[in-house]
Structure 1
Amino acid sequence: MKQERKWMYYIGLAVCAAIWGANFGVSRKGMETFDPELFAFLRFSLALPFFFLILKLKEGRIGLPFKMVPRLALMGLFGITGLEIMVMYSIKYTTLANASLLNVAPWPIFAALFGPFFLRERITSRLAIGGIAAMVGVCFIILGGGAGLDVSSDNMVGNVLAFAVSIIGALFNLACMPLMRQYSPLFVSTWYTVFGVAFMLPLTIPSWGKVDWSALGGDEYTAIAFNVLVCTVFAITAWNASMLRIGATRANFFRYLVPAFAVAAGYLFFDESISAWQLAGGVFMAAGLAWISMERGDGTTILQKPV
């Protein structure tokens, strides 16, 4: 991979992290109106027409081989239905600091640990050093804020869910990689979303009647539009395409940028303060991710052409 093209994929990962960082606050706002299951369902079901349109325009095909149905259905069940509902409930039942730390910090570690079972990705000394520096940075950023880490019993359910998200999410990313080397990230993302939405629909039945649809205003529609178009259609497509080229282990360390961008958004738009610990964390994180990015090669197997 040419160095200049490699940097383009790293920038793509950083942009996705910025979007998802901003979405922590947007999602919590949305759940003041919608149950977590319904909010997640609206996000992914409304994204599906855009996925199919882009897939048709870009690749000229949308059909799914029957042999791939069981595998993609399983991925949709765990990676969309289960994972996204767990994310929503973790945000609802614990603090944003806890959710962002426990969702994000362990995820790349589990991806590195489980990687050899799915892929032939090497864990190099550069990756280990850069990953440790980035992890220290993200802990400084989250714990250095005013909220800090709250391990009280009131937040235990949300904390457990947030930690489980990091395990399931890492396994989901790794399971996607072999398929994305056969087909394309966009094709795989579209079809596992179809199955995820189908499994999620029955869970939303009790939630539809709780919403006063006629009273929805600009805030609610903005939250839905941001989740559908930016967080889902754009960010999932860009993340999977970049992860395919960079490698799952390296790409997942860029998730550490998510809470950093959440803090930056709070400072820019909500007049929240930034502490010296958070600034130091930003330096550690930037240094660690830059160190990972400068490694020659990507540590992955040779990619197959899409079929």
Structure 2
Amino acid sequence: MDGKWKSYAGLVAVAAIWGANFGVSRNAMETFDPALFVFLRFGLAVPCFFLLLKWKEGSVGLPPKVMLQLAAIGLVGVTGLEIAVMYSIKYTTLANASLLNVAPWPIFAALFAPLFVKESFTRRLAVGGAAAIVGVTFIILGGKEGLDLSSGHMVGNLLALGVSAVGALFNLSCMPLMKRYSPLRVSAWFILFGALFMIPITLGSWGKVDWSGLGAGHYAAVAYNVIVCTVAAFIVWNASMFKIGAARANFFRYVVPATAVIAGLLFFDESISGWQIVGAVCMAAGLVWISTEKKREPAPALTRMETTEGAAP
């Protein structure tokens, strides 16, 4: 398996992990306040990131100017984004939130990409992306809730749409930094800052948890979120996204709702409709179409001798 296919496989695996986490987290929310659970996920991941960074690269530091950049990225992309996701779910239906949080994200990434990186938006990417969008729409709207655009859900809908736009900018803002520093180093620092900014939000939640009554399932849910969904997933996603480009990588987020539907079937005995199956096939076809595009090789640069020979005396 060459590097390109390893990157695509990594994106699919991470998206599947995040999708399965819907079922794991839904159970955990019965015990933990959502903000506290998110803080535990990212806060406990911080020492894991820095120990791994020290072991693999021998140092953990960054210039102060870069730290400030990553503090802003952590504030917006971790703290702000996670809070917005929670409130979008609170103020609209789960179907609305799922669709608006996920479907427009790759579109915004493709539109904003020229501001951060040099990525071409090819015809194959447009066709495959369109098929994937149709597929993920069928997956989400094929459930029982459907789409509800009534005025009562307008705040939640706008928040969910904002998550897609801000999330795309969050991904893209990391790309220039990952050209200078490793994805592991960039991830470690923005997650550190994101966790720190979450602390004030959780102050009223600690006393609401019956810590002595926590069982093995609660600890397993936290461990899964910390080690698998955050440490391993962020490292693999950012490294894969850096190799194949943010615009292409973000279309693979559509695997998240597909896996969440399967998790609902396994954990909560939820049904899968025919439209969701059709959507999954359509989405998979679009992603395969995107991933099989051959990378265009740049024209070979002239050597110094060739340039000299072709020049006028």
How high is the TM-score relative to the length of structure 1? 0.92
**Paired residue for 1:304?**
none
3-state SS of the aligned residue for 1:119?
Answer: coil
The one-letter code of the counterpart of 1:22 is: A
After TM superposition, give the deviation of residue 290 of structure 1 in Å.
0.6
Matches of 1:298 and 1:261 in 2, distance apart?
32
Matches of 1:155 and 1:217 in 2, distance apart?
36
**Paired residue for 1:292?**
290
8 Å CA contact 2:23, 2:267 repeated in 1: no
After TM superposition, give the deviation of residue 92 of structure 1 in Å.
4.0
After TM superposition, give the deviation of residue 271 of structure 1 in Å.
2.5
Matches of 1:247 and 1:67 in 2, distance apart?
25
Matches of 2:297 and 2:162 in 1, distance apart?
27
Alignment of 1:236-247 (within 5 A): 236-247=234-245
The 3 A distance-change label for structure 1 pair 228 and 155 is farther
The one-letter code of the counterpart of 2:6 is: M
3-state SS of the aligned residue for 1:62?
Answer: coil
**Paired residue for 1:86?**
84
The 3 A distance-change label for structure 1 pair 279 and 130 is same
**Paired residue for 1:56?**
54
**Paired residue for 1:235?**
233
8 Å CA contact 2:84, 2:160 repeated in 1: yes
**Paired residue for 1:210?**
208
After TM superposition, give the deviation of residue 159 of structure 1 in Å.
2.7
Selected match of 1:34 from 32, 35, 44? 32
**Which sits farther off after the overlay, 133-142 or 263-272?**
263-272
**Which sits farther off after the overlay, 29-38 or 111-120?**
29-38
Selected match of 1:20 from 14, 18, 21? 18
Q: Write the deviation string for residues 192-230 of structure 1: whole angstroms up to 9, x where unpaired.
A: 111111111112112212222222223322221111111
The one-letter code of the counterpart of 1:231 is: C
**Paired residue for 1:182?**
180
- Where does the alignment leave 5 or more consecutive residues of structure 1 unmatched? 301-307
Matches of 1:28 and 1:90 in 2, distance apart?
15
Selected match of 1:113 from 82, 90, 111? 111
Q: Write the deviation string for residues 53-93 of structure 1: whole angstroms up to 9, x where unpaired.
A: 11111111111222212101101110111111222333344
Selected match of 2:97 from 81, 88, 99? 99
After TM superposition, give the deviation of residue 29 of structure 1 in Å.
2.7
Structure 2 residue 5 is the aligned partner of structure 1 residue 7: yes
The one-letter code of the counterpart of 1:36 is: P
The one-letter code of the counterpart of 2:205 is: S
**Paired residue for 1:263?**
261
How high is the TM-score relative to the length of structure 2? 0.90
8 Å CA contact 1:80, 1:196 repeated in 2: yes
Matches of 1:55 and 1:136 in 2, distance apart?
40
Matches of 1:92 and 1:28 in 2, distance apart?
13
8 Å CA contact 1:141, 1:282 repeated in 2: yes
After TM superposition, give the deviation of residue 137 of structure 1 in Å.
0.3
Q: Write the deviation string for residues 241-284 of structure 1: whole angstroms up to 9, x where unpaired.
A: 10000100000000011101111222234332221111111111
Structure 2 residue 189 is the aligned partner of structure 1 residue 197: no
**Paired residue for 1:139?**
137
Matches of 1:60 and 1:93 in 2, distance apart?
45
The one-letter code of the counterpart of 2:15 is: A
The 3 A distance-change label for structure 1 pair 69 and 258 is same
**Paired residue for 1:122?**
120
Matches of 2:26 and 2:96 in 1, distance apart?
14
Number of residue pairs the alignment of both structures matches: 298
The one-letter code of the counterpart of 1:230 is: V
3-state SS of the aligned residue for 1:206?
Answer: coil
**Which sits farther off after the overlay, 133-142 or 200-209?**
200-209
8 Å CA contact 2:74, 2:192 repeated in 1: yes
**Which sits farther off after the overlay, 64-73 or 184-193?**
64-73
Q: Write the deviation string for residues 40-64 of structure 1: whole angstroms up to 9, x where unpaired.
A: 1111010011111111111111112
8 Å CA contact 2:22, 2:263 repeated in 1: no
8 Å CA contact 1:28, 1:91 repeated in 2: no
**Paired residue for 1:224?**
222
- Where does the alignment leave 5 or more consecutive residues of structure 2 unmatched? 299-313
3-state SS of the aligned residue for 1:146?
Answer: coil
Structure 2 residue 72 is the aligned partner of structure 1 residue 74: yes
After TM superposition, give the deviation of residue 298 of structure 1 in Å.
7.5
